[in-house]
Amino acid sequence: MTDVAAMTRAERVTLLAELEGLTDDQWSTMTVCAPWTVRHLVAHMTALGNQTVPHFMTGLIGSGFSFDKFVNKDLARFNQGSNADVLARFAKTVEHPTSVPGLKYVSLGEIMCHGEDIRRSIARKGDHPAEHLVLLADRYRRSGPPLNGKKRVAGLRLRATDVDWAFGDGPEVAGPAMDLILAISGRVDALGSCTGDGVAALRSRC
């Protein structure tokens, strides 16, 4: 049986090690998730690592059932103090995370995709195990709202060039698996490293 929780923890451990070496300027760098900076994304991932079903439900109700308002309130809660304070809170989620309501792969997807959002904003890329990439690509291509992966890749063939994964029929989009995952989730910049007759179609859907 695939241990998604162990995969998520491993991704958190790797990202934490990279975050520990960031400069103050890097912490304030804008990411593709504008207006969120690197610091905002770390606080957001800390909020996800502290999520519980009761908190999710009461927080959503308290935000007038606006998911965006709820997310921003939770982010603010973990975005207090210095950069070191924000990092220390994230570090606690590595050993003692709580469950995000919903499917288990959601936590893995958040840490991998937002981790890449952080890395790419400071001109880096992550090195993810093949099994993590294959599992997430397969889950994302079947996803409904809010990711809308199934709709976004309809009629296209996606093929990873660095791991053994491919899906679909139609014009091809080929590239590194992490870039395909980011594109499936709507991040158009990830298509810069992809090739094939289907790139333009997928770009128009991001």
DSSP characters over 113-169: HHHHHHHHHTT------HHHHHHHHHHHTT--TTT-HHHHTTT-EEEESSSS-EE-S
- Whether 67 shows a pLDDT value over 70: the answer reads no
For the cut 70, the answer to whether the pLDDT of residue 102 exceeds it is no
Average predicted confidence (pLDDT) for the chain:
91
pLDDT value, residue 59: 61
Q: For the chain, how many helices (H) and strands (E)?
A: 11, 3
Question: What mean pLDDT comes out for the span 54-64?
Answer: 67
Specify the CATH number of the domain 4-121: 1.20.120.450
CA distance linking residue 29 with residue 36, whole number of Å: 9
Query: What confidence score (pLDDT) does residue 26 get?
Result: 98
Judging by beta carbons within 10 Å of its beta carbon (0-12, 13-18, 19+), is residue 84 exposed, middle or buried? exposed
pTM: 0.90
Is the pLDDT confidence value at 101 over 60?
Answer: no
Q: Where in the chain is the domain with CATH 1.20.120.450?
A: 4-121
